[in-house]
């Protein structure tokens, strides 16, 4: 396997590491550079091929072309019933992700729903192919192998999204770190000293920017408070 191998390129795109691939195929990662993907994958189990295809967002026949006639002739229920079942399964998976406070893997969803893994994979793919099923939210994949849902980005305008974000930010109490970053930005935000200080507080700075409390007008190494924040502080001076 080398960098020109289509499988290797797909792995990079999907965020699948050599260690994860080796664990899945039963091959030590140090030996993968000699692994014959054209013949080696054909000897893997169907479950392994399905799992690998799901992680790479591929059809199993894309990995082993000889599977094409087999998969094309599998016995299936009528198309209408199959579509209805997939809609129901997709809604169940989306609801499970909405209930969870953290992203979940397909395996974790399968365990929680007591479903076979291939049923969860089919539901996830159907939800991705039919985004209207999720209504105002969208299914998101977080590489390498977890899923979550977030608000869709094509319903609200940019101004509306910003207004909602700011409204939520104004109602949340500041943490000590956030208060310290705001104070530093207010005192040092447009001085050379801020560039060095911010390196240890990048995550908190980004959270304040997302909340609309902090902004960078003169470049990333400078920061200033939103005028509403400055006005609020001025009342206590």
For the chain, domain boundaries: 6-72, 79-151, 158-234
Comparing 230 with 127, which gets the higher pLDDT?
A: 127
Exposure string of 8-40, with b = 16+ CB inside 10 Å and e = fewer, is: bebbeebebebebbbeebebeeeebeebebeee
The chain-wide mean pLDDT, for the chain, equals: 77
Comparing 31 with 136, which gets the higher pLDDT?
A: 136
Per-residue pLDDT for 25 more than 90? no
pLDDT in tens, 194-210: 888 888 888 888 878 87
Per-residue pLDDT for 61 more than 80? no
**CATH class held by domain 6-72:** mainly alpha
Span of 16-20, 63-67, 145-149, 232-236 with lowest mean pLDDT? 232-236
pLDDT in tens, 75-127: 555 555 455 688 999 999 999 999 988 889 999 999 999 999 999 999 999 99
What's the fold here for domain 79-151?
Arc Repressor Mutant, subunit A (1.10.10)
| Contact indicator for 136, 151 with CB cutoff of 8 Å | yes
Q: How far apart are CA 141 and CA 113, in angstroms?
A: 19
Per-residue pLDDT for 226 more than 70? yes
Q: Which of 8-17, 43-52, 76-85, 219-228 has the highest mean pLDDT?
A: 219-228
Task: Judge if 6-72 and 79-151 fold alike in CATH terms.
Answer: no
């Amino acid at each position: 396997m080398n960098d020109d191998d289509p499988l290797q390129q797909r792995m990079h795109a999907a965020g699948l590491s050599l260690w994860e691939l080796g664990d899945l195929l039963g091959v030590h990662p140090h030996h993968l550079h000699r692994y014959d993907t054209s013949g080696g994958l054909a000897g893997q189990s169907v479950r392994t091929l399905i799992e690998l295809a799901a992680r790479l967002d591929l059809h199993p026949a894309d990995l082993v072309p000889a599977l094409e006639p087999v998969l094309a002739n599998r016995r299936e229920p009528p198309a209408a019933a199959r579509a209805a079942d997939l809609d129901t399964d997709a809604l169940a998976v989306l609801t499970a992700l909405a209930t969870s406070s953290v992203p979940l893997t397909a395996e974790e969803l399968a365990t929680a729903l007591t479903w076979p893994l291939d049923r969860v994979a089919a539901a996830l793919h159907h939800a991705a192919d039919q985004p209207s099923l999720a209504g105002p939210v969208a299914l998101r994949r977080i590489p390498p192998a977890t899923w979550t849902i977030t608000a869709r980005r094509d319903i609200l305008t940019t101004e509306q999204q910003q207004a909602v974000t700011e409204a939520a930010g104004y109602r949340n109490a500041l943490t000590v770190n956030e208060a310290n970053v705001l104070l530093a930005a207010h005192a040092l935000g447009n001085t050379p000293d801020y560039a060095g200080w911010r390196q240890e507080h990048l995550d908190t700075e980004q959270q304040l920017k997302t909340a609309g409390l902090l902004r960078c007008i003169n470049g990333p190494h400078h920061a200033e408070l939103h005028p509403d924040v400055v006005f609020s502080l001025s009342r206590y001076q």
